[in-house]
């Protein structure tokens, strides 16, 4: 048996189309479009390419988008002042500060300075608290976990009563997705176990999973024999394991591997996400959805 692939690249297109249509409707009725600012400090190549993609996607769905690039040497005080400016800007509904920040800047201080009602990354402690409470309290779920949940729902995988095992306990993926899957409601109501580097028998837990969500950052950590036949496997890992020459462009590109041995796992799982092309494209898509939500809250539409 070969698993059904859950493709982020396809689901992204559906959701971006839905967003584009809703943005056009809101513009016609209310004369407003969602505004997103991305703040990039320095010139980290990976951050630059992420930010470019975020801005291109925002443009594609009809948002007002601002790319604010600042030098590596910007002081913490100046960066905080910049955030304050966008907190007060009526045309901006979402503020994203691309991480990581240079060492002389306190990342926590910067993230905490963003107005929680414009925190479309969902990283502010207020939004983390709202996520924990659940239900209508949630304004912005963090983008990668939100993308994972959306993929599971759109693939038609039953979550109610499912045994969900999350591998990894990061603040960006592991902990929030565990909280989201345990809540009542759509794409949730699951029984959740979080396993991590302190877990005694990783394999035994994974083998019980109807839905296995792996965000460990260790290439091919999850072995095929740890997967329950028919399970839904969501691989969040993006590990650079080498370089190759692209057949399309002739340029050097990274060889990427997930946290799961995909080739063997797909013969056992019922559903699986590939790397690349699985969870990755969903993160920016959910950022767009959060920015749209932010405007809708402001207009009293949700």
Q: Which residues form the catalytic set? A: 54, 98, 121
Task: Report the Cα–Cα distance between both ends of the chain, in Å, rounded.
Answer: 43
Residue number, 93 or 283, with CB nearest to ligand GUN = 283
Residue number, 46 or 253, with CB nearest to ligand GUN = 46
CB within 8 Å of 46: residues ≥ 6 apart: none
At 53, is the secondary structure helix, strand, or coil? helix
In angstroms, what is the minimal distance from the CB of 293 to ligand GUN?
A: 16
DSSP string, 76-123: HHHHHHHHHHHHH-TT--EEEEPSPPPTTS-HHHHHHHS-GGG-TT--
Q: Is 227 in the site for ligand GUN (CB under 6 A)?
A: no
Q: For residue 53, which phi and psi values (nearest 5 degrees)?
A: -65, -40
Residue number, 96 or 214, with CB nearest to ligand GUN = 96
Binding-site member from 22, 121, 150, 220 for ligand GUN (CB under 6 A): 121
Binding-site member from 23, 33, 83, 97 for ligand GUN (CB under 6 A): 97
Q: Which two tokens stand for residue 114?
A: 């963003």
CA–CA gap between residue 302 and residue 294 (Å, rounded): 9
Neighbours of 37 (CB within 10 A): 26
Contact code string over 245-284 relative to ligand GUN, x by CB under 6 A: --------------------------------------x-
Minimal CB distance to ligand GUN: which residue?
A: 99
Residue number, 46 or 203, with CB nearest to ligand GUN = 46
At 44, is the secondary structure helix, strand, or coil? coil
Neighbours of 107 (CB within 10 A): 14
Closest by CA position to 183, among listed 211, 159, 213? 159
Binding-site member from 19, 55, 83, 98 for ligand GUN (CB under 6 A): 98
Q: Is 96 in the site for ligand GUN (CB under 6 A)?
A: yes
Binding-site member from 16, 79, 82, 143 for ligand GUN (CB under 6 A): 143
- Give contact residues for ligand GUN (rule: CB under 6 A): 96-99, 121, 143, 283
């Amino acid at each position: 048996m070969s698993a059904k692939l859950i493709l982020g690249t396809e689901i992204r297109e559906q959701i971006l189309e839905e967003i584009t249509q809703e943005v056009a409707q809101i513009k016609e009725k209310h004369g407003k479009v969602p505004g997103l600012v991305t703040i990039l400090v320095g010139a980290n190549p990976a951050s630059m390419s992420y930010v470019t993609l975020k801005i291109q996607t925002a443009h594609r769905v009809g948002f007002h988008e601002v790319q604010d690039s600042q030098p590596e040497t910007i002081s913490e005080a100046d960066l905080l002042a910049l955030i304050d400016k966008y907190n007060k800007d009526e045309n901006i509904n979402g503020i994203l500060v691309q991480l990581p920040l240079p060492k002389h800047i306190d990342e926590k201080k910067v993230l905490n300075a963003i107005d929680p009602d414009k925190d479309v990354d969902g990283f502010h402690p207020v939004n983390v608290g709202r996520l924990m409470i659940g239900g209508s309290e949630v304004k912005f779920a963090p983008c990668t976990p939100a993308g994972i949940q959306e993929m599971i729902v759109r693939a038609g995988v039953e979550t109610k009563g499912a045994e969900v095992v999350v591998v990894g306990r990061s603040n960006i993926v592991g902990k929030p997705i565990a909280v989201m899957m345990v809540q009542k409601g759509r794409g949730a109501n699951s029984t959740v176990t979080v396993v991590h580097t302190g877990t005694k028998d990783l394999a035994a837990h994974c083998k019980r999973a109807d839905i296995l969500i792996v965000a460990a950052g260790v290439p091919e950590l999850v072995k095929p024999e740890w997967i329950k036949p028919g399970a839904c496997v969501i691989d969040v890992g993006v590990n650079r394991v080498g370089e190759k020459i692209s057949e399309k462009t002739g340029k050097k590109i990274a060889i990427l591997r997930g946290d799961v041995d995909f080739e063997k796992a797909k013969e056992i799982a019922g559903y699986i996400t590939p790397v690349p092309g699985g969870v990755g494209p969903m993160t920016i898509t959910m950022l767009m959805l959060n920015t749209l939500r932010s405007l809708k809250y402001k207009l009293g539409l949700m």
